[in-house]
Amino acid sequence: MSVLLSIHDVTPAWRSHVDELWALCRARHATPALLVVPQWHGEWPLESHPDYVAWVRARAADGAELFLHGERHDEVGSPRGLRDQWHALGRTDREGEFLTLDHDAARVRIARGLARFHALGLHAIGFVPPAWLCRDGTRTACQSLDLPLLEDAGTVHLLAEGRALASPVLRWSGRTTLRARGSAVQAAWRWRTQRNAPCFRIALHPMDLEHPVTRQSVIDELDRWLAHRPAAPYASLLTPTRAGAPAQRVPTGS
């Protein structure tokens, strides 16, 4: 039994925190997947930070799987409707870039991101919408771009195989002290009730290191989870014929 481990929000904007999360994982002999944002909040374009891209490429050479994680990550320019408000209730502070996007709009952004990855020598094994929020159109867009993997808050979708695995995820929120303490309590509850769940994920965010309560909880949970079940690559979920195959063709536009 293993665990799927990832670092979200990999961008030069969060360079030092991502470095620290990576080191925490490697110190426990685990290699996390990296969820890379091409242009964090409309700034920090990867192309302007070649040293950071070289760092990501080196981590991929170490065995880290790469996911495209939105284009800009926030919701600027994508106003929510009432249904979107309900869908996102309590789950993000305006970081659900794909929350409001239909198939066509999602496909444009994902294709653009994959083209940027390709130009930078990065290879995406899948897509994770920011805050795990998206509509069905994001799933069909990923399928149309031959991405094998998509995950949301409760499920890992094996797109090429038409399968979906229920997958609880341990994550934290340190936006307020109340949320940080709630996160630590929830983390302890997941250990008690889900430590033998068949497909379990741990998702680390740079913000987790900003609050002392979530920082300590991350360290404690990594210690006990990774001692209990080692980290495995997402590709291990795919059937052998897909696991070593190219993750996607180079997109040519919308």
- Min dist. Cβ of residue 92 to Zn ion (A): 9
Q: 8 vs 109, which CB is nearer to Zn ion?
A: 8
75 makes contact with Zn ion (CB under 5 A): no
Q: CA-CA distance, 157 to 243, in Å (whole number)?
A: 14
221 makes contact with Zn ion (CB under 5 A): no
**Nearest C-alpha neighbor of 221 from the set 63, 29, 24, 33:** 24
113 makes contact with Zn ion (CB under 5 A): no
Position of minimal CB gap to Zn ion: 8
Pick the stretch among 3-11, 82-90, 148-156, 238-246 that binds Zn ion (CB under 5 A): 3-11
126: tokens are 């899948």
Q: 18 vs 247, which CB is nearer to Zn ion?
A: 18
Q: CA-CA distance, 48 to 173, in Å (whole number)?
A: 30
9 makes contact with Zn ion (CB under 5 A): yes
3-state secondary structure of 2: coil
Bridge partners of 36, per DSSP, are: 10, 68
72 makes contact with Zn ion (CB under 5 A): no
Q: 9 vs 221, which CB is nearer to Zn ion?
A: 9
Q: CA-CA distance, 26 to 109, in Å (whole number)?
A: 32
Phi, psi of 246 (to 5 degrees): -55, 135
**Nearest C-alpha neighbor of 226 from the set 152, 170, 167:** 170
Q: 14 vs 238, which CB is nearer to Zn ion?
A: 14
130 makes contact with Zn ion (CB under 5 A): yes
Q: 96 vs 233, which CB is nearer to Zn ion?
A: 96
Task: Count residues binding Zn ion (CB under 5 A).
Answer: 3
DSSP 42: G
Of 8, 107, 139, 201, which one interacts with Zn ion (CB under 5 A)? Answer: 8
Q: Which stretches of the chain bind Zn ion, using CB under 5 A?
A: 8-9, 130
